[in-house]
Structure 1
Amino acid sequence: MDITNETHSQHISRQFNQELEQLKTQLMAMGGLVEKQVQDAVEALLEGDSRTAERVRDSDNAVNDMQIQIDEECTRVLARRQPAASDLRLVLAVIRATSDLERVGDEANKIARNALTLIESDRHSRGMVEIRHLSEHVRKMLRDALTSFARFDTRLALEVLHEDESVDNEYTTATRSLVTFMMEDPRAITSILSVMTILRALERVGDHADNLAEHVIYLVKGLDVRHTDPGELEGSLGE
């Protein structure tokens, strides 16, 4: 059975309703935090703001603490309520989603650390345009994936899945260009390697947004689509 937001407000136990809603609220808060970390890390690099980059680099514990808190709450719900069907899928989807969000936080940390290296080297490196463009793309994917989770919106989740190939192509094109530049100017190798690490981290953020979208489809439809081409899902997600 497909589920909607209304499905989880129809339990006899008002307390159970509140527990399920709290899981979603905590997940959205965690999502908002890691999304901002990615944004701040990239903007710190583009603006040469080492203080902001340091703050993102040092904020990893906050994300880890949120993951632990949500996982503990999910465990309590599983033990106390023994949910079945769509309720169980919600709890499992939240557990999976928090894992992906924690890894997005790790990628934001990696971006911040490499941003500091570039800022401290006081060299204007190539690749800033590519970083800006890829950052905007994957942050939209992440934002849409979180929105689809909040709304149980499989159509929006499917749009996120379709974007993943575009992000991969954008990343590949940028990397090839930077490799060519390194070959032409060996003095730029150190800074370009940091840029390429940031681009790879952003590409991974897109992968985790893709995973979040897959969790939404599992949550709503009960379908495991982790190894399914997005083009094959149109019929399965028909309303």
Structure 2
Amino acid sequence: MSDKHISSQFDAELNTISTQVMEMGGLVESQLHQAVYALTHMSDESADQVIAAEARVNQMEMDIDYGITSTIGRRQPTARDLRFLMAIGRTTANLERAGDEITKIARRVKSIIESGSPRSLPSSELRIAADMAATLLRKSLDAFARLDINVALDIIKEDNAIDNEYNGFLRKLITYMMEDPRTISPSLDLLFLAKSIERIGDHAKNIAESIIYIVKGEDVRHTPMSHVESVVG
């Protein structure tokens, strides 16, 4: 078998794995939109749809992991191809964890509906943050498809905006709970929702960092923004 034929087979395998990642990402993104709808409209049905998709997301992660392991074992890739496969593993792990957080949101929404908790608390900010997280996840998937490190850098910066929304929302909830102890239980529900949304933003940022790792060959996790900017150039 010629080297060219082997190379074309390897490229086909990488393309297949990349397609599977995008399909998984699309499913997680759909979950998030359903969860935001469930939160906005207090929809028990939409929350159920999110929860029902969790098993499929988990299975997709396992299938992609098997494909990565199989490809590495048979092809013994080097340099950028190996980085690419490793980064895909990180990406699918982050997508699966984002899916877990989205499922938590759906379960929390169902809990709020069942408890009949008052809705006079500042949930509008929560919806804004959820929309921001959804946008960030979509951008991370688009950037992954194109291996666009400049968009990846923007995502890492934009994650700070979600963190700021979370911190501001947390301060507001603390004020509500201090002023009226009756709001403690529903405030805690919203706090858990906010934390899950903040973590979804973190997972989108992690995917962006994996894109930079693929293209530049440097791991920028846990490094200052100035260093990330210098790597991207």
What is the CA-CA distance between 1:12 and the residue it aligns to?
5.6
What is the CA-CA distance between 1:237 and the residue it aligns to?
1.5
In structure 2, how many angstroms separate the alpha carbons of the residues matched to 1:163 and 1:74? 30
1:209 aligns with 2:195: no
Q: What is the identity, as a one-letter code, of the residue corresponding to 1:86?
A: R
Contact 1:23–1:73 (CA under 8 A) maintained in structure 2: yes
Partner residue of 1:126?
121
What is the CA-CA distance between 1:119 and the residue it aligns to?
1.8
Identity of aligned residues (%): 45
1:200-239 equivalences under 5 Å are: 200-238=195-233
Counterpart pick for 1:27 among 21, 28, 50: 21
Counterpart pick for 2:84 among 87, 90, 102: 90
**Cα gap change, 1:109/1:125 in structure 2, threshold over 3 Å: closer, same or farther?**
farther
1:42 aligns with 2:42: no
Q: Secondary structure at the match of 1:236?
A: helix
Counterpart pick for 1:73 among 67, 85, 105: 67
Partner residue of 1:60?
54
In structure 2, how many angstroms separate the alpha carbons of the residues matched to 1:154 and 1:217? 6
**Cα gap change, 1:199/1:223 in structure 2, threshold over 3 Å: closer, same or farther?**
same
In structure 1, how many angstroms separate the alpha carbons of the residues matched to 2:142 and 2:201? 15
Contact 2:39–2:127 (CA under 8 A) maintained in structure 1: no
Counterpart pick for 1:177 among 160, 172, 178: 172
Q: Secondary structure at the match of 1:235?
A: helix
Q: Secondary structure at the match of 1:226?
A: coil
Partner residue of 1:109?
103
What is the CA-CA distance between 1:128 and the residue it aligns to?
1.7
In structure 1, how many angstroms separate the alpha carbons of the residues matched to 2:195 and 2:147? 29
Partner residue of 1:4?
none
In structure 2, how many angstroms separate the alpha carbons of the residues matched to 1:182 and 1:54? 30
Q: What is the identity, as a one-letter code, of the residue corresponding to 2:102?
A: A
Structure 2 gaps of 5+ residues are none
**Cα gap change, 1:125/1:37 in structure 2, threshold over 3 Å: closer, same or farther?**
farther
Contact 2:136–2:201 (CA under 8 A) maintained in structure 1: yes
1:168 aligns with 2:184: no
Q: Which deviates more, 175-184 or 10-19? A: 10-19
Q: Which deviates more, 112-121 or 73-82? A: 112-121
Q: Secondary structure at the match of 1:205?
A: helix
What is the RMSD of the two structures over their aligned residues, measured on CA atoms? Answer: 1.4
Q: Secondary structure at the match of 1:126?
A: coil
Q: What is the identity, as a one-letter code, of the residue corresponding to 2:173?
A: L
In structure 2, how many angstroms separate the alpha carbons of the residues matched to 1:112 and 1:125? 20
Where in structure 1 do 4 or more consecutive aligned residues deviate above 6 Å? none
In structure 2, how many angstroms separate the alpha carbons of the residues matched to 1:27 and 1:124? 37
Contact 1:53–1:116 (CA under 8 A) maintained in structure 2: yes
Q: TM-score, normalised by structure 1?
A: 0.92
What is the CA-CA distance between 1:231 and the residue it aligns to?
2.9
Q: What is the identity, as a one-letter code, of the residue corresponding to 1:172?
A: N
Q: Deviations over 1:79-131 (max 9, x none)?
A: 11110011111110101111110000000010001111112233324132111
In structure 1, how many angstroms separate the alpha carbons of the residues matched to 2:74 and 2:24? 24
Tell me which protein shows more helix as a share of its residues: 2
Q: TM-score, normalised by structure 2?
A: 0.94
Contact 1:131–1:199 (CA under 8 A) maintained in structure 2: yes
